[in-house]
Structure 1
Amino acid sequence: MRKLNLSRILIAALLISGFCFLLPETVSAAGWGSVTGRFVYDGEVPKPVVQRAKGDPTVKDPTVCAAMEHLNNDLVINSENKGIANVFMYMRRAKDVHPDLKESKEKSIVFDQKGCTFEPHALVVRTDQKVIVKSGDPVAHNTHTFPLKNQAVNFILAPNDREGKEVENVIPEILPMQVKCDIHPWMTAYWFVVDHPYAVVSDKDGKFTIENLPAGKNDFRIWQERAGYLDRKFTVNIKPGETVDMGEVKFKPSQFETK
């Protein structure tokens, strides 16, 4: 009887240890991959609109804010390759996150103000990151956020404040939120707060890359400040160990027409 019990215990132990040994392989079998591509304006590039002319005396704080010509930045298109900048591409929710990306490596992001313009204009920030709002201008600004879920902030930033003030957003947002300077009303930017790493903003050439995505079908949303949603379900089939190149993802001019 004792021998029989010992045999059963030994078999059970081997099964359990075997299961534990196989489990990591089962998890990693899903694999991880990346996606890249470029957002492109599918039409004739519109002529840029001047927001502030150089030396315009009607602009508030003209020696700083009109020291050079500034163009509208609600739709930035590269005239050489038709790439659309400042387009948000993001996963609405992330069930699986790569182990290396569960926490942000950079715990703070700088949001600056130069020439009465916010830099960067479009920003992805995770809930475990702080935004350090600074100013390189010799005039006062204020930073006013308009979140849907987080606590709004509205504070004055002294001239040439390079130490800055910290802003936390601990709840993921549904959409990118507008950020304004009420002193200089043309100053706008957009922050998108997420609780995962799978969100990106296209660069000056319209290029985007999201790395270490779970293998399989992943759905993304594509949003731009003038157009709103450009695509509510942009599906990418990620292959383990590979980078899927979506090529040129084109959007028609009509999608950017203001209603």
Structure 2
Amino acid sequence: MMKALLGLILILPQAATPTFTVGGTVQFKGDIPKAKANKRVMEDPACAECHPEAPPQENLVVDPAGGVKWAFVYVKAGLEGRAFPVPAAPVAIDQKGCTYSPHVVGARTGQGVSFRNSDKMLHNVHPIPFVNKEFNFGQPGGAVEERKFPQAEVPIKVICNVHPWMACFVCVVDHPFFAVTDAAGRFEIKGLPAGTYTLGVWHEELKFPDQVIVVKADQQVRF
């Protein structure tokens, strides 16, 4: 069974700053899996023209040091009853080379999510939520359309029925305290007030238990 570990460190603020930054890494435990090519992309002639060779699969991306990319790290509990302004700018998702990019994004409830088709061929955008309302629309090359997800839901899978290998994930929460890990498995959640929180981690292939973290000025946190 594939396993991974979540490592955290609390970065303390300056004295005048009443909020904190929680950062760390999501680390794979065990033999590092080899990257696999997404050969299905090359089976479609129009899509194959976009790539000199088959692009890598993105469902499990682990760097040589064990850092796990595309993990969504977020505060799962501890912020109840608090309200935070929703960003006016939308979260951007592109369809390019018959793949969705980025593979994982975080968005706020009620925030716009902009879907762009940078390819010449037709795609369609089809989220499959369990809490929010499902929608499905065709999108010709060059088109942009914005939608919103009014309820928190982690994750929402988005597919393309024209090209069935295409998928990305939108993780919707009702606060700004979340991050997606980078290529080295690193994340950073800024502006978190002092308190006790439950931290959740979602990944497409790996499972993580929720973890309780205590955020305060005189303590570091490691998992």
TM-score by length of 1: 0.72
Q: Distance in 1 between matches of 2:93 and 2:220?
A: 31
Q: Which residue of 1 aligns with 2:110?
A: 128
Q: Distance in 1 between matches of 2:57 and 2:113?
A: 24
SS of 1:222's equivalent in the other structure is strand
Q: Distance in 2 between matches of 1:64 and 1:160?
A: 17
- Identify unmatched segments of 5+ residues in structure 1: 1-30, 250-259
Verify: 1:104 aligned to 2:104, yes or no: no
Q: Please list the CA deviations of residues 103-132 of structure 1 after superposition, one character each: whole Å capped at 9, or x if unmatched.
A: 134431111011111111001010131011
**Partner letter of residue 48 of structure 1?**
A
- The 1:244–1:122 alpha-carbon spacing in structure 2 relative to 1, beyond 3 Å, is farther
Verify: 1:193 aligned to 2:172, yes or no: yes
**Partner letter of residue 123 of structure 2?**
H
Verify: 1:119 aligned to 2:97, yes or no: no
Aligned residue runs from structure 1 range 23-102, under 5 A:
31-52=18-39, 56=42, 58-59=43-44, 61-64=46-49, 66-79=51-64, 81-93=65-77, 94-95=79-80, 97=82, 102=84
Shift of 1:167: 0.9
Normalized per residue, the structure richer in helix is 1
Shift of 1:91: 1.9
CA RMSD in angstroms, aligned pairs only: 2.2
Q: Does structure 2 conserve the Cα–Cα contact (< 8 Å) formed by 1:131 and 1:166?
A: yes
Amino-acid identity (%): 28
Q: Which runs of 4+ in 1 moved over 4 A?
A: 242-245
Highest Rg: 1 or 2?
1
**Partner letter of residue 216 of structure 2?**
K
Normalized per residue, the structure richer in strand is 2
Q: Does structure 1 conserve the Cα–Cα contact (< 8 Å) formed by 2:110 and 2:151?
A: no
Q: Which residue of 1 aligns with 2:214?
A: 237
Q: Does structure 2 conserve the Cα–Cα contact (< 8 Å) formed by 1:96 and 1:214?
A: no
Q: Does structure 2 conserve the Cα–Cα contact (< 8 Å) formed by 1:145 and 1:153?
A: yes
TM-score by length of 2: 0.83
Q: Which residue of 2 aligns with 1:254?
A: none
**Partner letter of residue 37 of structure 2?**
V
Shift of 1:245: 6.1
Aligned residue runs from structure 1 range 241-256, under 5 A:
244=220, 246=222
Q: Please list the CA deviations of residues 40-62 of structure 1 after superposition, one character each: whole Å capped at 9, or x if unmatched.
A: 112221111111278x4x33534
Q: Which residue of 2 aligns with 1:8?
A: none
Q: Distance in 2 between matches of 1:140 and 1:171?
A: 29
- Identify unmatched segments of 5+ residues in structure 2: 1-17
Q: Distance in 1 between matches of 2:220 and 2:104?
A: 24
Q: Distance in 1 between matches of 2:101 and 2:40?
A: 19
Number of residue pairs aligned between Structure 1 and Structure 2: 205
Q: Distance in 2 between matches of 1:113 and 1:244?
A: 40
Shift of 1:67: 4.2
